[in-house]
Amino acid sequence: MANVELKLKIMDAYRKSEKRERDRILRRREVIENRKEELEQTNREKDEQEMEKEREKQRKLREAEEERLKREAAERERQRAQQEHENIRKKEAEKRIEQLKSTDVGIRALEGLTEEVCIFCVHL
């Protein structure tokens, strides 16, 4: 009978030990799984922040490029208007020279002068 009781006590101790070990393993798995999920969440948040930074960088680059293109377009327009204005002044000067050439006094005044000098004089 003592042998049977001893066997029962050993089996009972084994079952309790087995349950404690199984519970410990399950808790450890749960801790590991929770840590894994936390790391995944942290990595997702980090990736999202990096993507947001990259989107912001790209947005700023686009804005800077658009601003540069606007400045260049404004400069081209300014140069075009200046060139147009200069062409009008030159045509008016040529017209005045032609008017002067149609008079005797104008012919004598312009005699010996190059066209460029005449245009310059008319601009004054």
Taking the whole predicted model, whether its pTM rises above 0.85 is answered as no
Residues 6+ positions from 93 with CB-CB distance below 8 Å: 118, 119, 122, 123
Give 81 or 111, the one with higher predicted confidence.
Answer: 81
Give 52 or 7, the one with higher predicted confidence.
Answer: 52
Give percent of the chain above pLDDT 90: 55
> Distances from the Cα of 118 to the Cαs of 39, 91, 92, 107, 109, in angstroms?
84, 12, 12, 11, 10
Q: What is the pLDDT of residues 8-44, one digit of tens each?
A: 888 888 888 899 999 999 999 999 999 999 999 999 9
Q: How far apart are CA 73 and CA 66, in angstroms?
A: 10
In this predicted structure, what is the pLDDT of residue 114? 63
Q: How far apart are CA 47 and CA 116, in angstroms?
A: 68
Q: How far apart are CA 124 and CA 119, in angstroms?
A: 9
Q: Pick the range with the lowest mean pLDDT from 42-46, 70-74, 100-104, 119-123.
A: 119-123
| DSSP secondary structure, 13-42, as one string | HHHHHHHHHHHHHHHHHHHHHHHHHHHHHH
Q: What is the pLDDT of residues 113-124, one digit of tens each?
A: 666 665 656 555
In this predicted structure, what is the pLDDT of residue 111? 72
